[in-house]
Structure 1
Amino acid sequence: MQRLIPVLKKDAVETELIMLIRTILAACKEIAFRVSQGELAGVLGSTLDENIQGEVQKKLDVIANQLLKDMLLEEASVAAIASEEEDHAVAGNAKGHYIVAFDPLDGSSNIDVNGQIGTIFTIYRKRDDVPFDSDEQFLQVGESQICAGYVLYGASTLLVMSTGGPTRCYTLDLTHGGFLLTKQQMQVANTRNEFAVNMANYRYWHATVQHYFDQLLYADEQFDKSAMRWNAAMVGDVHRILTRGGVFMYPADRRVGNENGKIRLLYEANPLAMLIENAQGQATTQGQRIMSIMPTNLHQRVPVIIGSPEQVKGFNQTVFE
């Protein structure tokens, strides 16, 4: 099995970017250790604070965010960072060439029950037309990403990443502490009758979305063998789709604050869309390609339908055409 760095060099990834990826993964390995310790490390439970999203922070959220923040801001190549847990962009090195956005711990509700959680990250080149530490640095379309990935903490610690080419999967080897290539190229199945969605939100969905699920669950014979899979962590659901196909859905609904869904465009939807697309899947929002959307703010939310092309196409045709 190949180690991560030789694979990146073979993919012609620039040295400075390789060093930045190594820093992100060093933080993720420390997070993985804290996750594995659980209650022994005193990282379970909630703090008394809320993040910018209005969500109660878990202790491990705060720890993961601080680890990534501290290590990235020490990197000379990083001009600024953005995080789900930070109100605004955080300044790094004005001469740095890259900006990094991340969700330090996706699936926080799973922490205390030992469920799936992960770190999602994305890297862009720094813009020269706005201040290096401005939120505007991150107002770039997903197509401009030069690297996207996630680290999934579970029975094994997995890295799924693309630097513009294939979406590859690596496994953390605890013997020597490095990531080894275990899947040369991930590929999303064209169709599979599995879907991940929070069905508890059915009552709030718009009528066209409800109609789609009425067909999916009760009416249409083509959906006879449909099976719901829901991890309550987008990173885990997307990993399953990359591994064996299916579709992840988080539609908009009628509740105040959920008019544009719940998934953050910058550090959730865009990086996962890049991974899905580079594995021959599709990633859409309101019938449009996610990575073509120009963000308007750091914490912008979008509805998402991503996964196997046939399932994504079927949803969009039913709901938007």
Structure 2
Amino acid sequence: MFMSHLFNRRTVLGSMTALGSLYAAAPLLAQTTKIIRIGYQKSSTLISVLKLQGALEKQLAPLGFQPSWHEFTSGLPLLEALNLNNIDFSADVADTVPVFAQAAGAQLTFVAQEAPSPSAQAILVPKDSPLRAVADLKGKNVGFAKAAGAHYLLIAALAKAGLTLADINARYLTPADGRAAFEKGAIDAWVVWDPFLSAARIQSSARLLADGEGLASYQRYYLSSTRFAEANPKVLDVVYAELERAGLWVKRQPKDAAALLGPFWGLDPAIVEQANGNRSYAVRAVTPERLVEQQKIADAFLAEKLLPKPMDALNVPLFKPTAPSRGARG
């Protein structure tokens, strides 16, 4: 089974919101209406905006489609669900996650990419920590989510300091568990992404040890199952255009976006606004040139023996949007 050494199927299915009752509500829709099952996580800002605004319901209706929404704890179980045909479209996941999916043979199509946001993930330490540089992490307990963008950031930061993962005590933790361990002092450092990053810095006065500048670009990807992409290019055109519009809206109206997302995420709008300021939200088509760092990521994980064999991270199906841009609207 896909990525069985990291997540079993029960974990994946358990992380989904109401998937088992997905079709229970189907009679409420017209008999000819089809469903696009969208998976997302807490850091999926633009998909969250579209969900809250009802934008996809409106724009997909003329094509006979309606979205259904399914929340996951992080990117890896999200893409496993995509590979298992439990969802059709994955909201943004960190650049590392597709590498693991591809290594396991998942049939995924890259639909869109967010331009780099290197400051949206970082290595944090408590405000009174004696640790002052990445080199000080040697022998320390460091928490992070396995296969997440934070994982690659840590590898890159350690390498620059002349260390490897073998030089630290790695603690694989979900964002929620990582926050709890960080505040209890169970870990010496925490590597995490926004909005968790901004929440820890504002609420716990966590101190930045290093972010992704010069280390990891942190480009986030939107993916579809290849099966769905080949059968429904017009649907993906609509989704792509709405993501582009949402990205522009968040950057142009930061306070409105924070006010919308704050209650949904259970975070103070000030935290959300800071987190959104760290992300580019510049949605763009995926091209071979924009995938170059994916190979670097794959090679780094192979060197750490976290991938079973060398892989070509660039030979992947790419969706080419054809719908006119609606990013300037609204």
Bin the TM-score by the shorter chain.
under 0.3
TM-score (norm 1): 0.26
TM-score (norm 2): 0.26
- Which structure's relative contact order is higher, taking Cα pairs within 8 Å and 6+ residues apart? 2
